[in-house]
Amino acid sequence: MTTPYTSAQVTAELAATPGWELADGQLSRTVTRKDFRDALLYVNAVGYLAERANHHPDVAISWNTVTLTVVTHSAGGLTAKDFALARQVSDLG
């Protein structure tokens, strides 16, 4: 789970992870919710998934907009853990 993917692997995995893009070597996803309250509820759902995976994205909230970024710092790159979490987050909608 913690071996960094090669560039080719990242490209292939990313294609299978809708709603996420590559930004500065990390996976990034930005979503817009109805308002701040709804954005915070969304962040709590993401937080539940992150705690379950013991793998935590960086989170930025700006009123109704949430940006998530995820990378495996300890591996120095993107790993299966990142894509697994990303797909679970995508399933939240």
Binding residues vs a copy of itself (CB under 8 A): 36-37, 40, 43-44, 47, 50-51, 56, 58-63
What is the DSSP secondary structure assignment for residue 74, as one 8-state letter?
G
Are the C-beta atoms of 81 and 1 separated by less than 8 Å? Answer: yes
Q: Which residue number, 13 or 72, has a Cβ lying nearer to a copy of itself?
A: 72
How far is it, in rounded angstroms, from Cα 61 to Cα 30? 10
Q: Which residue number, 14 or 61, has a Cβ lying nearer to a copy of itself?
A: 61
Q: Which residue number, 13 or 78, has a Cβ lying nearer to a copy of itself?
A: 78
How far is it, in rounded angstroms, from Cα 35 to Cα 92? 17
| Nearest-approach distance from CB 38 to a copy of itself, in angstroms | 11
As a dihedral over the C-alpha atoms of residue 35, residue 81, residue 27, residue 73, rounded to 10 degrees, the angle is 110
| Nearest-approach distance from CB 8 to a copy of itself, in angstroms | 29
| Nearest-approach distance from CB 40 to a copy of itself, in angstroms | 5
Which residue matches tokens 């993917």?
5
| Nearest-approach distance from CB 21 to a copy of itself, in angstroms | 19
